Amino acid sequence: MPDSTLRRGVFTAIGVLILCVMLFPVYWMINASLQPSGNTLTAGFLPLDPTFAGYRRALSEQGQNLVTSMIIALGTVVLSLLVSAPCAYALSQFRSRWVGAGLLAILVSQMIPGIVIANALYTAYENLGLLNSVPGLIVANCSSGIPFAILILRSFLQSLPASLVEAARVDGAGLVRAFVSIVLPISKNSLITAGLFTFLFSWSDFLFALTLTTKGDVRPVTLGIYQYLGTQVQNWNAVMATAVLSAIPAIVLLIAAQKYIAAGAIGGAVK
């Protein structure tokens, strides 16, 4: 149908337009990263006379930090989902008077300022020897990942037809098996969505990285960026370049993850 092809083309055009508006600040940051001053005070709309000094510096100095950020973020995703998926399932399907209280407690946890948690963890980590460690930062980032994932997964699991699991139970499957072989596969979508944001929370964490490290050996890129931001002198050119570079591997990952959301809608599995 040529008519429908045209319509879909129009939608794509509108989509691109929306994206351009939403991502303009990102473009502006890229523009700034190509200015020698790192700011756009005298910049035109296009960086006609670009400098790549910031990128050279970022590439040579931030590579290791980028890897660290990636490991921590992925670790947080795995740990958060492992812990929160069963809990979210329980909160959505089991009947208990504690469910409401549990939900409220989880919500309250999200209201606590991060710095309060960070300070408490510092004291604990000091004693446990978890300062300056990747596992330590993963656990800390789970403080935003786990509650968030529980709440999100629960809201999705609520629409899970109970009959699915019950059918399996009648066939003799235990709770755990039913969860692993039925609930998890059809929740792929929501698991990815929850994982996506857990990744983003952890990726953008600055507070825990700052509080829970005391040496340079474990340093996520959010903290690494500060080696260009002195108390009095700031090298915005390198800052902006680092931000651009560090976004690239992450966005590739996000695009890959999002592809699954489109692919595995629940409708197919339920039929």
The nearest distance, CB 3 to another protein, in angstroms, is: 14
The nearest distance, CB 269 to another protein, in angstroms, is: 10
The nearest distance, CB 173 to another protein, in angstroms, is: 11
Given a contact cutoff of 8 angstroms between Cβ atoms, the answer to whether 220 and 30 are in contact is: no
Given a contact cutoff of 8 angstroms between Cβ atoms, the answer to whether 173 and 181 are in contact is: yes
Give the DSSP letter of residue 217.
S
List all residues 6 or more positions away from 261 whose beta carbon is below 8 Å from its beta carbon: 189, 192, 193
Residue position matching structure tokens 């083309």: 9
Rounded Cα gap, residues 211 and 124, in angstroms: 12
What is the distance in angstroms between the CA of the first residue and the CA of the last residue of the chain? 29
Q: Which is nearer to another protein, 74 or 266 (CB)?
A: 266
The nearest distance, CB 227 to another protein, in angstroms, is: 5
- Residue 72 CA from chain centroid, whole number: 11
The nearest distance, CB 34 to another protein, in angstroms, is: 13
The partner residues of 229 in beta bridges, in order of sequence, read 234
The nearest distance, CB 109 to another protein, in angstroms, is: 4
> For helices 188-203 and 53-93, what crossing angle results, to 10°?
140
Q: Which is nearer to another protein, 1 or 262 (CB)?
A: 262
Name the helix (H) or strand (E) containing 170: helix 162-170
